[in-house]
Structure formats: C-alpha cells, structure tokens
Amino acid sequence: MSHPHPELSAPPPLPDGGVRVIPLGGLGEVGRNMAVIEHRGKLLVIDCGVLFPEEHHPGIDLILPDFTAIEDRLDDVVAVVLTHGHEDHIGAVPYLLRLKPDIPLVGSQLTLALVEAKLKEHKITPLTLGVTEGGREQLGPFDCEFVAVNHSIPDALAVFIRTSGGTILHTGDFKMDQLPLDGRITDLRAFARLGEEGVDLFMTDSTNAHVPGFTTPERQIAPAIERVFHNAARRIIVACFSSHVHRVQQVLDAAEESGRKVAMVGRSMIRNMGIAADLGYLRIPDGVLVDLNRLTRLPDDQQVLVCTGSQGEPMAALSRMAGGDHKIDVGEGDTVLLASSLIPGNENAVYRVINGLTRRGADVVHKENALVHVSGHASAGELLYCYNIVRPRNVLPVHGEWRHMVANADLAVQTGVPRDNVVIAEDGVVVDLVDGQVRIAGAVDCGYVYVDGSLVGAADETMLKDRRILRDEGFVTIILVRDASSGAIAAGPEIQTRGFAEGQDVFERVRPKLVAALEEAQRTGTQDSYQLQQVIRRTVGSFVGNKLRRRPMIIPIVIDA
C-alpha cells in the first residue's frame, strides 16, 4: 500500500495513453472535495467544494481548493462534473468560474439548480449540461456514464469515466439505503455491470469506512421525530443542513400530522427548499408552510422553525439563538432538534450551542440522546458489498480524513484487491494509472485558499497565526520617541497592553530593563529604527515569557521627532 511522502517532487509528464488523478481537496479532510482527471492533454474536474473553517481559522469565511495546479490550463478543462448539491461539493464553483466563466457544469437537475442559484449571487451565468442516471456524455476524451446513488440529498450521481487509458468509477458521496424516502436507491446493478466491464480505478467515499455494519435507513428516524412533535410543549426549532431535503420533508410531514405550522429561517434554507419544492423534490403540505412573521403570531404550541446552524457555525441562526442574539428568543419549554451528524472538527462548537440552548431552558434533542439523524455515507458493510460487486483492479480512497481513508483501504485489501494496488494519497499528491497499474507520480502545490470577507487568497498561515496570537495571548504596544538629530530617547518608552488579566503596573517592572537595553544599543552604535524595534521586541518578549508565561504579539513603534 503506497502513501505520499513529504518530499515528493513535481510529477513528470503523463505517459502517452495514461490517466492522471490530481486530488485538490477532500483527501485527508471532510470537505473541499475536488479531483482533476487528466488524459490526452485534457482535464475533467469532479466536484468543486468548500471546507468550513474551524476554531484555528479566526475570521475566515470559507476554505477553497487550491486551483494553482490547473490555473494556467483552464482552457484544457472540458467540464466540471458535480456529483451532488452539498456545499462541500459545489461551494467553490463560483470561485473557479471567476477564473473562466465558460467552463461547462455537468450534473443532475437539482444539483445544477442549486449551483445556478449560488452563481446568480456572484453574477455568473454558467454553461450547464443536465444529466440523469443511465445517461452517457462524451466530454472531450472522457466518456462519462452516470449512475444513481443514494445520499442525504436527492439526485446524487456516481460517474464512470471511460478513457483509452483505463476506466475510473467515482462514487461521489453515497450510501446503500434500501428503503430511501424518495425511493431512489444506489444502482448496484449498474455497479455490477461496470464491474464486469472492468473498473481500473475505484475512487470511493471513505467518510464512514471506520463504522462497522450498515448505515441506518432514513425511515427509521421518523418515529423519533414524531415523538419530538408529540411531546413538545411549546415551539419546535429544527436545525439541519440547508440542503437536507429529506430531513425537511420529514419535518413538514410531522408538522402536518400534529397541526403545526412551519417557517424557514435563513437565506440559504429558504432558497434551497424553494428550489427543491419548485422541482418536485420537496412536497409541501397545503397550508403548513408560512413566513416567519405570521408564524410568530401563532400560539407557541403551533410553531415549528427550520433553520441552519447544526454544526455550530457562529453566524448561523441557531448559534445566535443560543447566545441570545436572535429575534427568536429561545426559552423554557422550547424544544430544539439537531437533525444532523457532527462533521469532524465541529464537536466543540456544537456542544457550545447545545449548552447555550440548555442554559436558556430549551430541551435539546440530538444524535446522542435520540435517533434523529442518520449518516449519508456508506459504512464498512456497504463498502465491502461494493468492493465485491465492482471488483476493481486499483483503489484510491477519497472523501475523508486520514483514518477514514486507511479504514477504506483495509476494506479493499480484505476483499482481494492487492495491497500494492491500493493508494492512500492526500491533497496535491498525483496518482497515475498507466497500463492498468496505479502509482504515485509526484505532488503539486495544494494549500488552503482562504475566503476572508471580500478577499480570496490574501489571508495565509502567517496572518492566521497573528490572529490566533491576538485572540489567545493579547498584545503589547511599546511607543518610543527619539530625538532625530542626536538619537537620544526623547519620550517613553510608553507601554500599552490589551488582553491581559494582569494590571498595567506589572509592565512597569520591565521599563528599567527596556531603557537599559536601548541605552546599550545606542552605545554600540545602533541607530536603525528596525534594529531598535527588535531590541524592544526581544526585551519585552523575554520578560512576558518568563514572568507571565505568555507569548503576546509585541508591536514596537519608534518615532523620530
């Protein structure tokens, strides 16, 4: 089983007839999914999603794939195939199309509708090609066949890519729910047929590969949701992903049964459910859905709100309710239903929201105390079935953290895939399929690209480190005024601090040391402002580190007057 090496060099040119896979996101992380397939000088992109920031990304709105590896080859991109409409698969499309707006987007009806609505906000009108399961399209040298898969959003597709250099089956995100709410199951007959034809490389969803058995069917959570509606004394507030059509459908059905009215809260929730309803993927019972203003005038025991914020996002509606910063004032007797699983890395943020809501008197129902959500990803038992049906020659686990991909690779080996034919890679590691065998060919630059307000790519790790220091350690400003002609200290040093529990008088103890260090610098001929700033930074930093056990940001300012 091969794996990337930190010192991989740039890959050589792709051998004639070979197929190259360049993962630009989604390998080693949950989100930011994007893979580039290269063959005969042309590129096919599969998915283009975002990663949501965590606590160590202060001030960041979104994290994008790094397009650097293909930025000078956008004319070679024949299409972007979108497997489904979740943000971690379509969220970065506007940022790619900013670079070249006429790249065709290929996907199912709902997926394209969701991405078109997103692009409208960016004032981009895309070229689109709608496809359905069983359909087949020639995209440059890539012959693509689309296969129905079941996921936590309707209309998801896997894609089978035929090339003269080999075949690739990319599952997208999927599971094998045998009784899905919309009746659309993963097409295992098509998987078997493609397996008989021959799958040279199987790129398969790893998110739940470490979970034994089979993923719980969606239908099994309906009784738990119905119990919530039966037992709730006052309002019910449901938080889920803004694209989780199936879950919203269950909430609407439960509301109709219990005589309650429903209002959507949040721009993305209103937009996406409107699209799903218009296209027939969401059935809205007559009279159940109302706007928020009308809902709030009804008795509390008739109100249901559906909002975003199930992952603890700071600006989402539910987080603001938990902090008392929303017009919906959550209180005693309200029931909050978190109808989503935890994305790895979001646990602390979600528990903070749960604690905040509980402190305000709400009864919070979530995955740990009730069966109110099931995963949208195949567990180990389902993946084993797929490996035995498809019988791939080579495997590249995708979509998951390192532990998920290792678990997925182990499943492939257990079903008979030779260990040397299973590649565990990470973002930027280039994998070639040549003469039926995969191998790691090198690596391309593939860092995080941060969306920071209106800026894309301007923020970097150095800036985030500064923000973390300011947030966690505080800062010290030292202002010194020098006589411009003599270089002697005319005023100061004045010390100002922010973010310290210790009083300002503590820093008076460093002033004599600082004056002595500056005088010594003058005696040795140091006149340059930058060098004096470094003297100040070292002296104050040493004092704060030794005495206060802190590493604040130190900002020395030297003014010549």
Q: Which residues are catalytic?
A: 205, 377
61 labeled binding residue? yes
Contact present, 275 and 108 (Cβ < 8 Å): no
CA 292 from chain centre, in angstroms, equals 29
122 labeled binding residue? no
77 labeled binding residue? no
Q: In this structure, which long-range contacts are made by residues 190-195, counting pairs with CB atoms below 8 Å and at least 24 apart in sequence?
A: 190/133, 190/134, 190/147, 190/148, 191/147, 191/158, 191/386, 191/389, 191/390, 192/389, 192/390, 194/145, 194/147, 194/160, 194/167, 194/169, 194/390, 195/389, 195/390, 195/391, 195/392
Residues in the chain: 561
Backbone angles phi, psi at 302, to 5 degrees: -115, 5
Burial class, 261, CB count within 10 angstroms (exposed 0-12 / middle 13-18 / buried 19+): middle
72 labeled binding residue? no
230 labeled binding residue? no
CA dist., res. 435 & res. 438, Å (int) = 8
246 labeled binding residue? no
Residue 284: CB partners within 8 Å, gap ≥ 6?
A: 252, 277
210 labeled binding residue? no
86 labeled binding residue? yes
What is the β-pairing status of strands 62-64 and 236-239? Answer: unpaired
The token duo for 501 is 């529990």
374 labeled binding residue? yes
39 labeled binding residue? no
268 labeled binding residue? no
Calculate ∠ Cα 427-469-314, nearest 5°.
70
CA dist., res. 223 & res. 539, Å (int) = 65
The DSSP element (H or E) to which 395 belongs, if any, is strand 395-398
The 3 state secondary structure assigned to 317-366 is: HHHHHHCCCCCCCCCCCCEEEECCCCCCCCHHHHHHHHHHHHHCCCEEEC
243 labeled binding residue? yes
84 labeled binding residue? yes
88 labeled binding residue? yes
Neighbours of 526 (CB within 10 A): 15
DSSP annotation of 210 reads T
57 labeled binding residue? no
End-to-end Cα distance, the chain: 67
452 labeled binding residue? yes
Residues making up the annotated binding site for Ca(2+) are 59, 61, 452
Residues making up the annotated binding site for Zn(2+) are 84, 86, 88-89, 151, 173, 399
Residues making up the annotated binding site are 59, 61, 84, 86, 88-89, 151, 173, 242-244, 373-377, 399, 452
Residues making up the annotated binding site for substrate are 242-244, 373-377
